[in-house]
Structures are given as C-alpha cells and as structure tokens.
Homo-oligomer: A and B are copies of this chain.
Amino acid sequence: MPVSMKDVATAAGVSLSTVSRALADSPRIKPETRTHIQQLAKEMGYLPNAIARGLATHRTFVLGVVVMDITDPLIVEIVRGIDHAAQGHGYSVILSDCGPDPERQLEAIQLLRQQRVDSIIVPDPIIGDSALPALLETGAPVVLINRPQYRYSINTDNVAGARQAVSYLLDLGHRRIAYIGANRNPAESHERLTGYLEALAAYGLMSDTEFQVGPNDWSENGWQAMQALLTLSQPPTALFCFNDMTAIGALGAAHAAGVRVPEELSVVGFDDINLAAHFIPPLTTVAQQKERLAELAVSLALALIDDDAALAGQLIPANLVVRGSTAARPSKR
C-alpha cells in the first residue's frame, strides 16, 4: 500500500526510470523535471523501498554489529557510537548480541549473512576467537575494534594509555604499584601490562611479580585480586587495573577491608565507562575515545566495501582522567 515509484511516475506522467533518476539526483536529467518529481514524491509521501533497492543493487545499507554482551558498559558506548555514525552515512545497523555460546554465535552470523549486510563491525575483543573465521567467510568485510592483531581493525593505544596512568601514580610518589590484569582478554591485558612495565622502567623500577595479579576481568575478580594483594606483607599503595569494572571490584574489596581510597590506596581504571564518574569515589581512569573508535570503524567498514583499506590499523590515543580515587602516597607507609 505504500506509494511506489510507479505511482509517482504515473502521477507525474513520466516513465518509471525518470523518477528513479530524479530521485537519485542523476546528472542526466533536466533540473526542472527533477525538482518537480522530487517535490511530487514528497507530497505523495513516497518512501524508497530499501528492500527492493537492495535486491537490485546488491547493497542493503545495513551494517551488522556483533557483540557477545551488549550490556558491557564499554561495549554499549561503542555500539551507540557506531549506530550514530552509521545513521550519519544513511546506514542502519542490525545488532546481534550472541552471548557466550559459540553455536549461537554462528547462528547469529548466519542471520546476518541472510540479511546481506554490507559490512560487519565487531566492537568486542572477546567474541570470535571461535566465531571470527565464520565471520570472515561471510563475504562482507569485517572490521574489528581493539584487536590489533587483525589487519582491518581500529584500536586504542593501550600501551601509551597504561604508561600514562602508571607514570601519574609514580609522580604522586607511589612506588609499590600493582597491576590487576584480565584473562578474558589476554591481548589487551598484555598491552596494558607492557605500558605499566615501561612506566616503571622509565623510573628505573622493576615490577615485583607479586604485584602483577590476575589476570582477571569481572568486578568479582577485581575483588579477589585486591584481597590477595592485601595479604602481602608489603601491600601496594597504588593499583592500576585492567578496566573500570576490575577497579570497581577492587574498590569494593578495599572498602570491605577498611582500606580508605584514596587516602591509603590509589586506584586507576581503564575505559572511562559512564559509571566511573558516578562511583564512590569517582574513579581516576584512562579514557578510551569510544566515539572516535566507532566513527573510524564505521568509515573503515564502509570504505572496505569498495576495497579501500586506508583507515585500517589506526591507533587512537587514550587519555588519563584524574578523579577522586587517586592521591599522593601516604607518607606514613
């Protein structure tokens, strides 16, 4: 029932293809008739049928986004950025939340293929150690976020970000600084560990291996890692955590043990999720530029449709945001 090009054509007394051209701003059309038709189409409430167009052009103007858990505070923010950027390009995004089950991941990818999405973005560093191959067979280009090992990716500069955070702690006078890593995410965790070690080395310090805890990820595990650190004879005075959720877990354990933050312990996270600013105390953290990562990923995903990989492999800086969870080293210790 919605009005089609044919309807517009007969109403305008021209042929179907003239309408098609007019609406597509084709150069080969008389300006007057074009504006006339465009206006007529608007009056009639014509809305292009993306399905029909997709069938004819083999371009659906739909982007697929595959995540394992859209509930992850970092991931949602990136997904939101992707959605906005896509809309800016006239694209829609199909969201596919796969969960941890590999079989379901495959099914979800099949669905995406059936829908003939033009390109796929995976803003989730965890997904796809198993699903990635299937994804790549899709035919559609696949862009990853924060997966530097893969060629078509857009990544945060984890090493530099971590270095910045730990340097800051060193500048505050801290010398016993621990790192709580993440096992769900070995590659990223290792990069942040590298930055941590580099910062220490620049101060002529070595990291005590008992200060490299984890790897862990969830806040529960941040909690456990903190507890382990508190049993040391010389516990750390500062903590650099894989991400904000880990930091929040550690904060909980510190609170439970009666360790005051930041007076007795400084804590730095990574990501700068929305919550970080609202936590008690507000979390000092290394902010990822989620919007920018998303924009670039979308641009790359669309460019790859035409085999343009110029944007591939970009490294985006991450910047320390100082808030209430860090302070100078307690003098008494």
Contacts and interface: CB of A to CB of B under 8 A. Distances in A.
A70 B62 contact: no
Interface in A53-84: 54-55, 60, 62, 65, 69-71, 76-77, 79-80, 83-84
A11 B87 CA distance: 41
A71 B77 CA distance: 6
A71 B62 contact: no
A47 interface: yes
Nearest to A45: B137
Interface stretch (A105-113, A198-206, A228-236, A305-313): A105-113
A280 B76 CA distance: 23
Contacts of A60: 51
A175 to B, nearest CB: 27
Prevailing SS type, chain A contact patch: helix
Interface in A223-250: 245, 248-249
A49 interface: yes
Contact of A114 (B50, B93, B108): B50
A278 interface: yes
Contact of A278 (B55, B108, B110, B249): B249
A52 B52 CA distance: 8
Given A94-B92, A94-B94, A252-B278, A87 B116 contact: no
B97 A49 contact: no
A251 B279 CA distance: 10
A251 B274 contact: no
Closest 9 CB pairs of A and B: A95-B95, A50-B114, A83-B97, A51-B54, A92-B94, A50-B115, A219-B278, A51-B55, A70-B80
